[in-house]
A and B are shown apart, each in its own frame.
Chain A
Amino acid sequence: MKSYFFQFILIITLPVQIFAKDYYVYCAAESEDEVALIRFDGKKAYVEKRIQVGVWPVEIEGPHGITISPEGDYWYLSMAHGTPYGHLYKYKTGTDEMVDRVELGLFPASMEISNSTGLLYVVNFNLHGSHEEKSTVSIVDPEEMIEIDRVETGVMPHGSRLLNSGMKHYSVAMMSGELFEIDAMRMAVSRKILTKPANNKNQSMHNMSHKNMKKMDHSHMMSNSDKKGMAEMGHKMPPEKPTWVYPHPNDKFVYVVNNGTDNVVEVDVDNWKITRTFNTDKGPYNCEVSDDGKFLVVTYKTAGKLGIWNLKTGKEVAKFKNSRKITHGVVISPDSRYAFVSVEGIGKEPGAVEVFDLVKLKSVALAEIGKQAGGIAFWKMDN
């Protein structure tokens, strides 16, 4: 009788136990030299820990990109500024103790570890300078923390994601308007394509460059002096300014965010051509596709909003105004239930991680973290 009673209790409380998950994300605060560990219990988001990062106390080193090892044992952090080169740091999850670091190129930024090679691919964003030089993707052995090679791509590479197979790596070159595919095994560029939508009516580079300058996201907007300088240098920057790329879980498509022309393009990986264009709100910046393949979630940096797109219909099904003016990154829980969005803030305003329910399509929680919240990575779900 006693055992039946316990079984009964177990059965009636099982759904509660199943759904009472804790979700953990790490989020970097770029102007605070800090990484926050956020726990979301389905209702509220809590800052579990704030981890001070970097080694130069009175300089802003700029933690930018963050990723978790596939096993969840370690988190990796790119530090943008050094003297002069940036670094990749390795920390242990949970204890958050630093394990090692390796020097990379100028302004290492977004990154991911390949499911096939186990290597980490991180772009050297190099947003310094006159935006004429091509930069690279550094390939790092995340166990030994040694840099194996650098693969040259385009000008200001950003976004660094791999197919689920781990065989192909994608990054975009912001100032040369290109999507690059790297063969993860051979460590060499296999293909590249311009990210301009096929039906882009604004064919005139001269006209577009001026027009799009005006509506481009602040983070990449040029001041008058910038424009003058660029004109003097005879630049012909493509207006798309792609900032992110993310593969569909089926590995058949990748989605490229054109920050400069306010759209996301879908690229057919096999045929290597743009198949769809999603016209977005102002200044799309990052994106992620839910693991169930239903939703494309896009951060609109200039608009300070978040857009959720139904990939089947190609329609934006929800749009949310974020709590702060500059929306940055997004990561979706593996159960495709929640989108965790980093929002930077301006000046002394704290950054934030906002949580959105992708089933109910509503904002559900917010946690304030350090200034200029940016890179965000999903760690684990606990029951």
Chain B
Amino acid sequence: MKNFLYILLSSALLFAQEKKKDTFLFEFEQDSLEINVGEEKQITIRLLNEDGDLAQNPFYVFGQRKALSASPRISDSTGLAVVTVKAFKPGRAYLRTRTITVNRNDRISDRLLINVPYPPLDRIVFDKMPKKLYAGTVTSFEVEVFDKANLSRPDADVVLKSSKNSVASFDKFMNLEAKKPGKITVTASVDGVKKSFKVNIVKNPTQKITINSNVAEIRTGDVLNMNAKALDKRGKVLNDVPLNYSYTGQADYGTFGLPTSGLITDDGRFVAETAGMYTLSASSAGFSSQKRVKVVPRNVEKKIKLIGHGLITDVFTSDLWVWPGIGKHEGKDFAVTGTWGANGEAYFWDVTDPTDMKIIDTVTVDARTVNDVKISEDGKVGVITREGASNRKNGFVILDVSDPYDVKIAAAYNDDMTGGVHNAFIYENHVYAVNNGRKYDIINIDDPYNPRRVGVYELDTPGHSIHDVWIENGIAYSSNWADGIVAVDIGAKKFDEADRSSLQYNPLLAKAGQGSPSNPVKLAELEDPTGRNHAAFPFLSKSTGKFYVIGGDEIFPWGIGALKDEPSNPRGGYHFLNFSDPENPVEEAIYQVPEAGSHNMWIVGDTLITGNYQGGLRIVDISGELLGDIYKQGREIGVYLSLHENGRIPNSPMVWGAQPYKEYIFFADMNSGLYCIVIENEEKTEAP
């Protein structure tokens, strides 16, 4: 019996080895192929047996979609194919082959490297080409290289050279140091492509530097404009002489006097992050001027007092909205909260007495997540969004909330909204519903029981995607991941010079006036190179008149713990994008809590209120000019960590978003429900 089994096993192994030996081999006419974009080349491929003859077995050939095509895709029955290969984009690609066999284990694959060279470089573009520079100054240059396909080629290794290094020379970071008067030619070159311009280095007439600021003391976060000038020997201001700015100092904290921390810009604006004594310096051509500034703590911290808490323990809580009652409920206050990954419920609360917030009604719709909840300004209509509906139609549900104790479903709207509505906004009897993550649909709800679509706004960028939309004064501010912030006129009032309200400082309003819900018109935009743009909120600074749109990130580098009943660890920040010049918006400041996430925000006056997920609720002073790292500047007014031992995930703050309402701030925590806090006037005292 033993012998029989041995023979059987040996035979099987022998058979397997024979099988392995009987393999085919692909023979490509060349070891690799080089094809230019748009070019076609032919290559012969043979499938050979172990004797080197055609294997008499077909195989197929394929490239990669949008990169490489192959035709025909199948060889003839002998194992021979003459394949035409066409390249569509530069880089390395592979032409792949695979035998066609009955037994899939016998299949043999191979591949041929196809090198698709990048198109030849075409031109170099300087960021500036000055005709004159002053001796004793350093000027930074940037260049951009384009290829024949007009694609930017940041990988190109451009070298900048001066024709006379004794007069002016470049360092390896493209900074040109002008040493003495003379004429030079600056040349940028890469792979045979060159761009040159002539520069006249002239004697620097600077004889003095002045700093024209009388400010002796500032708080952390305050921006000091040094207003430095270069003067000639007659005291005439030299506006075209570049100045260098720097600071030194000693911070107040630490026994040994730790270094100060701050930011000084190329145009001489300074902001400090730590209190201490700073020396600011402006210099040019060997001349310099200094100014000493005392920086004191901003001291804006206040006590935060918990007024009430409506604990939700069995499901995750999503967004919230708070509004005043109407009709028979006038004088009362109500809130609605959504639920996440649960049973499609929205909870309605009576929050008239925020120390005793009670759920007074529950609306259940066919959904797993009610991500967003909104109430109309007149307090009559509510909208809740649906995701994970059992019929996959999703969309949103319109509610009659006139009586929050007895909320009625007016209509479910899901036409063309199968992918889910993640967020929505109600503005002047229209619902703006972020649809399928691609666009926002605009639905007229004059009659909430008979909603009808009147408009759609969708970007036209490749692979565009949208997350949220917020509307103020007839302008819709959408957040669009990599496409960033987009401001759209959906019925903003035309600029009226008779209107002297501060609202008119919003430069987007000056551009508006053509849009309507059925004709949305783009006003301005700013891409987000990180692709994290998740929320947008307009901010017209009361103290400076500057107009920002604040873009909030969302990123979970390590996934979400909620699905595993564990705390999450997201990251992100809030970016202050200055849209005062709508044609050239620029990021000027960021509020980013280290080791915490960012989610939704609200601005009231010059105060930012943020939901920072595991970082809790944050209240931030954003008055005055904004520059640099706001978190480090001591601008936080208060922090509330909303953890609860009986939370959905116990003892784990996860603040979704907040809304200031009357003297309170209401906010929703994913893990523990609805909170109400108040900022006390009393300043926070340091612990002994």
Whether A347 touches B368, Cβ cut-off 8 Å, given contacts A84-B465, A149-B62, is yes
A225 at interface by CB-CB < 8 Å: yes
Query: In whole angstroms, what is the CA distance A225 to B315 when docked?
Result: 32
Query: How many angstroms from the CA of A10 to the CA of B458 in the assembled complex?
Result: 70
Q: Is B202 an interface residue when CB atoms closer than 8 A count as contact? A: no
Q: Is the CB of A225 within 8 A of B451?
A: yes
Which of chain A's residues have a CB closer than 8 A to the CB of B554? 58
Q: Is the CB of A226 within 8 A of B390?
A: no
Is A143 within 8 A of B109, CB to CB? Answer: yes
> B342's closest neighbor in chain A, by CB?
A348
**Closest chain A residue to B613 by CB distance?**
A58
CB of A115 closer than 8 Å to a CB of B: yes
Q: Which of A192-218 contact B (CB under 8 A)?
A: 218
Which residue from B64, B465, B568 sits with its C-beta under 8 Å from A57? Answer: B568
Interface residues in A131-183 (C-beta closer than 8 Å to B): 141, 143-144, 146-150
Return the contact of A219 from the options B392, B481, B562, B563 (Cβ within 8 A): B392
Interface pair A127/B392, CB less than 8 Å apart: yes
* B238 interface contact, C-beta 8 A: no
Evaluate contact between B481 and A83: CB separation under 8 angstroms: yes
Cβ of B422: which chain A residues have Cβ within 8 Å of it?
59
- Residue from A83, A119, A325 having most chain B Cβ neighbours under 10 A: A83
B562 and A229 within 8 A (CB): no
| A107 CB contacts on chain B under 8 angstroms | 419
Could you give, for residues 91-124 of chain A, a 1 whenever the CB lies within 8 Å of some chain B CB and a 0 otherwise? Answer: 0000000000000000100000001111100000
Known A128-B419, A150-B65: A347·B364 in contact at CB below 8 Å? yes
A363 to chain B minimum Cβ distance, whole angstroms, is 22
Binary A-proximity of B359-375 (CB < 8 A = 1, otherwise 0)? 00000101111000000
Tell me the nearest residue of chain B to A7, going by C-beta: B1
B104 interface residue (CB < 8 Å to A): yes
B318 nearest in chain A by CB position: A58
Who on chain B is nearest to A114 by CB?
A: B104
Instruction: Assess whether A223 is in contact with B415, with CB atoms less than 8 Å apart.
Output: yes
Asked whether, in the complex, the Cβ of A372 is within 8 Å of the Cβ of B556, the reply is no
- Residue contact A58 to B560, C-beta cutoff 8 Å: yes
Cβ of B513 under 8 Å from chain A: no
Decide if B419 touches A127 in the complex (CB within 8 Å): yes
Bound together, the chains give a CA A228 to CA B411 distance in angstroms of: 14
- Decide yes or no whether A241 CB sits under 8 A from chain B: no
Chain B residues lying within 8 Å of A141, measured Cβ to Cβ, are 62, 96
How far is A33 from B564 in the complex, measured between Cα atoms in Å? 12
- Alpha-carbon separation in the docked complex, A222 to B463 (Å): 28
Q: Are A81 and B420 in contact (CB under 8 A)?
A: yes
B331 at the interface (CB under 8 A from A): no
* Complex Cα–Cα for A214 and B390 (A): 18
> CA of A191 to CA of B615 in the docked complex: distance in angstroms?
58
B498-521 CB contacts (< 8 Å) to partner A: none
Contact between A84 and B437, CB atoms less than 8 A apart: yes
Residue of B nearest to A167 (CB): B100
Which residues of the other chain, B, contact A325 by a CB distance below 8 angstroms? 390
Contact status B556-A57, CB under 8 Å = yes
Give Cα distance in the complex from A347 to B343, angstroms: 4
Q: Is A83 a contact partner of B366 (Cβ separation < 8 A)? A: no
User: Which residues on B sit within 8 Å (CB–CB) of A30?
Assistant: 388
**Bound: A187/B411 CA distance, A:** 45
Minimum distance in angstroms from A99 CB to a CB of chain B: 17
Q: How far is the CA of A59 from the CA of B341 in the complex (A)?
A: 9
- Complex Cα distance, B392 from A143, in Å, reads 32
In the bound complex, how far is the Cα of B64 from the Cα of A218, in angstroms? 38
Q: How far is the CA of A228 from the CA of B443 in the complex (A)?
A: 14
Question: A63-75, CB under 8 A of B: which get 1 and which 0?
Answer: 0000000110000
> Quick check: is B623 within 8 A (CB to CB) of the other chain?
no
Question: Known interface pairs A83-B481, A347-B344. Does A117 touch B60 (Cβ–Cβ under 8 Å)?
Answer: yes
Cα of A52 to Cα of B563 in the assembled complex, Å = 8
Number of interface residues of B (CB under 8 A): 61
Residues facing A in B60-80 (CB within 8 A) are: 60, 62-65, 73-74
The answer to whether A347 touches B453 (Cβ under 8 A) is no
A185 adjacent to B388 (CB under 8 Å): no
Output the residue of A32, A58, A220, A221 with the most chain B CB within 10 A: A58
Q: What distance in Å separates the Cβ of B95 from its nearest Cβ neighbour in chain A?
A: 11
A348 contact set on B, CB distance < 8 A? 315, 342-344, 368
For residue A345, CB closer than 8 A to chain B, the reply is yes
A144 to B94, CA, bound (A): 11
Question: CB < 8 Å: which of A83, A115, A117 contacts B437?
Answer: A83
Q: In the complex, A345→B364 CA distance in Å? A: 15
A228 to B413, CA, bound (A): 12
| Residue in B62, B388, B391, B563 whose CB lies within 8 Å of A34 | B563
Q: Which of B628-662 contact A (CB under 8 A)?
A: none
Q: Say how far A174's CB is from chain B's closest CB, in angstroms.
A: 12
- Distance (Å) between the CB of A301 and the closest chain B CB? 10
Beta-carbon contact of B104 and A118 below 8 Å: yes
B65 touches A147 (CB 8 A): yes
B98 within 8 A of A: yes
Shortest Cβ gap from B71 to chain A (Å):
10
Assuming the contacts A147-B64, A147-B65, asked whether A346 and B418 have C-beta atoms less than 8 A apart, the reply is: no
Given A60-B388, A219-B392, A84:B436 Cβ within 8 A: yes
- Residue B286 at the A interface, CB < 8 A? no
Does A320 sit at the interface, judged by CB under 8 A?
no
Nearest CB on B from A305, distance (A): 16
Q: Are A115 and B104 in contact (CB under 8 A)?
A: yes
Given contacts A52-B564, A223-B393, A229-B415, contact A81 B343 (CB under 8 A): no
Nearest Cβ in chain A — how far from B92, in angstroms? 13
Decide if A84 touches B438 in the complex (CB within 8 Å). yes
Closest Cβ neighbor of A156 among chain B residues? B418
Q: Which residues of B contact A46 (CB under 8 A)?
A: none
- Are the C-beta atoms of B415 and A225 separated by less than 8 Å? yes
**B559 in the interface, Cβ–Cβ < 8 Å?**
yes
Complex Cα gap A220–B414 (Å): 11
Q: Is B412 an interface residue (CB 8 A)?
A: yes
A15 at the interface (CB under 8 A from B): no
**Complex: how many Å from CA A147 to CA B64?**
6
A262 contacts the other chain (Cβ, under 8 Å)?
no
B416 near A371 with CB under 8 A, answer: no
Known A-B contacts A60-B420, A84-B436, A85-B463; the reply to A347 vs B390 at CB < 8 A is yes
**Chain B residue at smallest Cβ distance from A115:** B104
Of B64, B388, B418, B568, which is within 8 A of A31 by CB?
B388
* CB-CB nearest in chain B for A59: B422
Decide if B380 is an interface residue (CB 8 Å cutoff).
no
Q: Which of the residues B65, B98, B463 comes within 8 Å of A84, measured between beta carbons?
A: B463
- In the complex the two chains form, is A372's CB within 8 Å of B388's CB? yes
* Residue contact A31 to B436, C-beta cutoff 8 Å: no
Q: Judge whether B74 and A185 touch: CB under 8 Å.
A: yes
Could you say which residues of chain B place their CB within 8 Å of the CB of A229?
A: 415-416, 453
A residues less than 8 Å from B270 (CB atoms): none
26 contacts between A and B (CB under 8 A): A55-B559, A57-B559, A58-B556, A60-B369, A60-B420, A80-B419, A84-B437, A84-B464, A84-B465, A119-B62, A127-B419, A128-B418, A128-B438, A129-B436, A146-B64, A149-B65, A185-B60, A185-B73, A186-B73, A225-B414, A225-B451, A225-B452, A228-B452, A229-B415, A347-B342, A371-B368
Q: 14 more A-B contacts (CB under 8 A) besides A119-B62, A225-B414, A226-B416?
A: A52-B559, A57-B560, A81-B437, A82-B465, A85-B463, A115-B104, A128-B418, A130-B416, A144-B96, A146-B64, A148-B64, A221-B393, A229-B415, A344-B390
Closest 9 CB pairs of A and B: A57-B560, A348-B343, A31-B388, A83-B465, A57-B556, A347-B343, A31-B368, A218-B391, A346-B390
Which A residues lie at the B interface, using CB under 8 A? 30-34, 52, 55-60, 70-71, 80-85, 107, 115-119, 127-130, 141, 143-144, 146-150, 185-187, 218-223, 225-226, 228-229, 325-326, 344-348, 371-372
Binding site for A on B (CB under 8 A): 60, 62-65, 73-74, 96, 98, 100, 104-105, 107, 109, 315, 340-344, 364, 366-369, 387-388, 390-393, 411-416, 418-420, 422, 435-438, 451-453, 463-465, 481, 554, 556, 559-560, 562-564, 568, 570
